[in-house]
Amino acid sequence: MHVVAVIPARGGSVGLPGKNIRPMNGTPLVARTIRAALDSKTVSAVYVSSDGEDILSVARQAGAQAIKRPADISGSTASSESALLHALDAIAATDGRDPDILVFLQCTSPFTTGDDIDKVVETVMQEGTDCAFSAVEDHGFIWKIEPDGTAAGITHDHRLPRQRRQDMAKRYRENGAVYVMRVAPFREKGNRFCGVTKLVAIDAQTIEIDSNEDWLIAEAFAKVLEAPAKKEVPKGPFRALVTDFDGVHTDDRVIVHQDGTEAVTCSRADGMGIERLRKAGLKLLILTKETNSVVQARAAKLKMEIHGSVEGKLEKLDSWRQANGLDWRDIVYIGNDINDIDCMKVAGLAAAPADARPEVRDLAHLVVDRPGGYGAVRALSDYLLDNRMI
């Protein structure tokens, strides 16, 4: 059966503006959900529906296909179902037919996994239901206020002795993460609960992000749950810092003006970090595949040597290393993508920004706590200086 995932992600957010592309533990919120969908064994294609070009750009980089949502279904009062139906029309226009099953995922549930998605999808596929959703067990005592102002139990009879948790009938609460529907009944009803419905209990974190307080709690969980295994960091001393450009000095995005010129976003804090390293005597190099003038301008501002238009980074780095009388163990290399891996493997210390590709983070001796373009280079420079590694 053809199963697709759609992630609606509006550009506007009343509770927490910009949340869908805000990095959580180094990864934009929408990219976390895309990653879960790509990890699923049952989902064959992942789409993000948004009115925001910045969100769609991040979605493409994370491996999803982009669907531009029209303004009339992008406001705060528009339903998720309207975005899903529009996405189905766009998919059908491209594929020539509807998918069999639609997986609706929400960015506001940042701890969804591929296994969670598969459990819900398989419930629909194997049990012949029209739809299913993820839920978590809930032992809370829910109350309401009666018209006369008195309190009354909803999930319990408050007039009876309080039940122990183990004696209570199991209750479940939607966790807002995964909804799966057969497309035909969903199109007919226009509702995610479009017929015979099954609940799928998920053992997962249940934080839904609607406010800054929710964000802070979720990010604290993420930093603990997703902390990489501790690696022994080489102590040096080191004599050179070599950096990639895009994704290290920048957030890996580019602004293209109407005349074709490009602009990027960098961190002033990185500039101070580079200056401190230069004063400490380190040789400094930017090694990049890029050729445009914005890279040259930033390198000149930082007073860093630059080798651009580089296809084989390792070969170029080896030539530079020998010309400067350096051993591999003398070099600190920070990169964020797969074309940095060969250099990282031979460097004395391999570092990565918090939002680097997973395979790059896994390889790195050190993953700094800042994303590219948001102070990753400064965090690395502070680490080297504070630990007397120069």
pLDDT tens digits, 312-354 = 889 999 999 999 999 999 999 999 999 999 999 999 999 999 9
Query: What single-letter DSSP state applies at residue 76?
Result: T
Gap between the Cα atoms of 371 and 374, Å rounded:
5
Separation in Å, CA 316 to CA 25, 310, 322, 342: 32, 7, 10, 12
Please report which helix (H) or strand (E) contains residue 23, including its range: strand 23-24
Tokens at residue 29, please? 């919120």
Number of Cα atoms under 13 Å in the Cβ half of residue 135: 15
Q: What is the largest CA-CA distance in the chain?
A: 85
Separation in Å, CA 87 to CA 11, 67, 104, 377: 16, 7, 11, 39
> What was the pLDDT predicted at 283?
95
Average model confidence (pLDDT) for the chain? 91
> What was the pLDDT predicted at 14?
66
Separation in Å, CA 72 to CA 10, 79, 86, 247: 12, 11, 11, 34
Give span(s): CATH 3.40.50.1000, the chain.
240-386
CB 389 within 8 A of CB 236: yes
Gap between the Cα atoms of 314 and 298, Å rounded:
22
Gap between the Cα atoms of 205 and 221, Å rounded:
9
Number of Cα atoms under 13 Å in the Cβ half of residue 149: 0
Q: Can you state the angle between helices 268-279 and 293-302, rounded to 10 degrees?
A: 50
Name every residue whose Cβ is closer than 8 Å to that of residue 288 and which is 6 or more positions away in sequence: 244, 245, 246, 295, 306, 307, 308, 310
Gap between the Cα atoms of 100 and 20, Å rounded:
28
In 3D, which of 378, 382, 389 has the Cα closest to residue 271? 378
> What was the pLDDT predicted at 69?
92
Give span(s): CATH 3.90.550.10, the chain.
3-225
Please report which helix (H) or strand (E) contains residue 56, including its range: helix 53-62
What DSSP string describes 259-328? TS-EE--B-HHHHHHHHHHHHTT-EEEEE-S--SHHHHHHHHHHT-EEE-S-S-HHHHHHHHHHHTT--G
In 3D, which of 210, 133, 140 has the Cα closest to residue 177? 133
Name every residue whose Cβ is closer than 8 Å to that of residue 336 and which is 6 or more positions away in sequence: 244, 246, 247, 248, 252, 352, 353, 355, 356, 357, 360, 372
Query: What single-letter DSSP state applies at residue 72?
Result: G
CB 19 within 8 A of CB 209: yes
Gap between the Cα atoms of 376 and 291, Å rounded:
22
In 3D, which of 84, 80, 53 has the Cα closest to residue 66? 53
Separation in Å, CA 76 to CA 7, 14, 15, 51, 179: 16, 8, 11, 12, 20
Tell me the pairing of strands 283-287 and 240-243: parallel
Beta bridge partner(s), residue 351: 334, 366
In 3D, which of 64, 67, 2 has the Cα closest to residue 33? 64
pLDDT tens digit sequence for 265-310: 888 999 999 999 999 999 999 998 877 788 888 989 999 999 887 8
> What was the pLDDT predicted at 238?
96
**Domain at 3-225, CATH class:** alpha beta
Per-residue pLDDT of the chain (390 residues; tens, 9 = 90+): 899 999 999 887 666 778 899 999 889 999 999 999 999 999 999 999 999 899 999 999 999 999 999 988 888 788 999 999 999 999 999 999 999 999 999 999 999 999 999 999 999 998 789 999 999 988 888 899 999 999 998 888 888 888 777 777 788 999 999 999 999 999 999 999 999 999 999 987 778 888 889 999 999 988 888 876 667 899 989 999 999 998 999 988 878 778 777 788 888 999 999 999 999 999 999 998 877 788 888 989 999 999 887 888 899 999 999 999 999 999 999 999 999 999 999 999 999 999 999 899 989 999 999 999 999 999 999 999 999 998
In 3D, which of 175, 178, 168, 100 has the Cα closest to residue 140? 168
Separation in Å, CA 86 to CA 56, 104, 186, 222: 16, 13, 12, 33
> What was the pLDDT predicted at 225?
83
Pick the CATH number of 240-386 from 3.40.190.10, 3.30.379.10, 3.90.1150.10, 3.40.50.1000: 3.40.50.1000
